[in-house]
Amino acid sequence: METPDSNSVLVTGARGFIGRAVRKLLQRSGYSVLALDQPEVAAAGTAHFSVGPEIGIDITDREQLQTLFQARPIAAIMHLAAILPTMAQREPARATQVNVGGSLNLLEVARQFGVRRFIFGSSLSVYGTCPAEQVVTEIDRAAPEDLYGAAKLYVEHLGEAYRQAYGLEFVSLRIGRVVGAGARSATSAWRCEIFEHLGTATSAEIEIPYAESERMLLVHVEDVATMLVRLLQASSPTHGVYNAACESVVVGELKRELERLNPRLRVKLGARTVVGNPRQVDWSRIAVEFDMRVVPMFQQLASAAGLQHV
């Protein structure tokens, strides 16, 4: 077995919203990136390990993963692949196979082939629904309310077990609602539309399903990529779990700011409450340890609209 190159990183879920941003940042930072996604979404003709920038493998197939690791020395894994919440509720068996079984397979090949660090894209949904006034920290009790959050929490426990048993450097980033252009979300189109529609010269409508008084924890996809890469680059992270740097945004204020930035936009709000996630989060752990700062969400929106935030 070849010794892993310290710059070689396997990114799972590489065609996803976060995966694409992470790949770009890793490549700009000088890493050798192996981009992995399901065979049906990986680029045509790149299923062979020696060709092309993308690899088509289902992470539930451990033998294929072992073949890959035998062919390519890999120093670190950035695990972002998952069946997302809506689909997980519709297809619970498949979601468990991928989100838990696939993660276990990756942990096993990491152990078997001497991977140094394993960065896991977790979720703030591990905390479940929290009171509006509660600012959640990493030491607060996790109480997920759906399959997606429960799987994320279980994989965190698995990772900690592998750290204790085998010395794998497992680090988890708990991420909020990710927004930005290009999200391509079938169930939450507003996450990309709040950026993509700001430059419209004609009338456009964005539908956000939450009530005006509700709070949401939002984070821009490029900030998520930055945090994940910093966890990868750190000589020795102090903790195994970090809350992502998210901003608590009031839905009604978001509506008013979008319509102010572009009067052609109409933002239609729903009546839903925010469930399954906290509404406020303490991310001082990652801020202090990694000097992490993020541009305020309204400032990012103003920039997307080509305006100065006031």
Q: What is the pLDDT of residues 13-33, one digit of tens each?
A: 999 999 999 999 999 999 999
**The predicted structure's pLDDT at residue 39:** 86
State the average pLDDT over residues 153-179: 98
Both tokens assigned to 29: 């930072």
Question: Could you tell me if residue 280 is inside a domain?
Answer: no
Bridge partner list, 10: 34, 77
- Closest C-alpha to 207, from 256, 158, 268: 268
Domain around 148: 8-176+221-243
In a shared domain, residues 58 and 114: yes
In a shared domain, residues 82 and 29: yes
In a shared domain, residues 19 and 53: yes
Question: Does residue 229 surpass a pLDDT of 70?
Answer: yes
Query: Per-residue confidence at 309, pLDDT binned at 50, 70, 90?
Result: very low
Question: Could you tell me if residue 111 is inside a domain?
Answer: yes
In a shared domain, residues 260 and 140: no
Residue 194: what residue type? Answer: I
**The predicted structure's pLDDT at residue 48:** 41
Question: Does residue 275 surpass a pLDDT of 60?
Answer: yes
The CATH number covering residue 22 comes to: 3.40.50.720
The model's pLDDT over 184-198, given as tens digits with 9 standing for 90+, comes to 877 899 999 999 999
Collapsed DSSP state (helix, strand, coil) of residue 33: strand
Strands 76-79 and 117-123: parallel
In a shared domain, residues 62 and 206: no
| pTM of the entire predicted model | 0.93
Who has greater pLDDT, 185 or 115?
115
Question: Does residue 1 surpass a pLDDT of 60?
Answer: no
- For the chain, percent of residues with pLDDT exceeding 90: 88
Instruction: Look at the chain and report how many structural domains it folds into.
Output: 2
Question: Could you tell me if residue 286 is inside a domain?
Answer: no
Question: Does residue 270 surpass a pLDDT of 80?
Answer: yes
In a shared domain, residues 23 and 149: yes
In a shared domain, residues 54 and 198: no
Question: Could you tell me if residue 108 is inside a domain?
Answer: yes
In a shared domain, residues 188 and 112: no
**The predicted structure's pLDDT at residue 183:** 85
In a shared domain, residues 49 and 189: no
In a shared domain, residues 144 and 63: yes
**The predicted structure's pLDDT at residue 4:** 54
In a shared domain, residues 100 and 207: no
**The predicted structure's pLDDT at residue 225:** 98
Given the residues 31, 148, 162, 242, the one annotated as active site:
148
Contacts 24+ apart (CB under 8 A), 164-170: 166/111, 168/107, 168/110, 168/111, 168/115, 168/117, 168/118, 169/116, 169/117, 169/118, 169/236, 169/237, 170/107, 170/117, 170/118, 170/120, 170/240
Question: Does residue 129 surpass a pLDDT of 80?
Answer: yes
Question: Could you tell me if residue 282 is inside a domain?
Answer: no
State the average pLDDT over residues 175-204: 92
**The predicted structure's pLDDT at residue 5:** 59
Question: Does residue 45 surpass a pLDDT of 80?
Answer: no
Question: Could you tell me if residue 3 is inside a domain?
Answer: no
| Annotated catalytic residue 242 | no
In a shared domain, residues 232 and 250: no
Question: Could you tell me if residue 253 is inside a domain?
Answer: yes
Letter string b/e over residues 216-250, b meaning 16 or more CB atoms within 10 A of that residue's CB: bbbbbbbbbbbbbbbbbeeeebeeebbbbbbbbbe
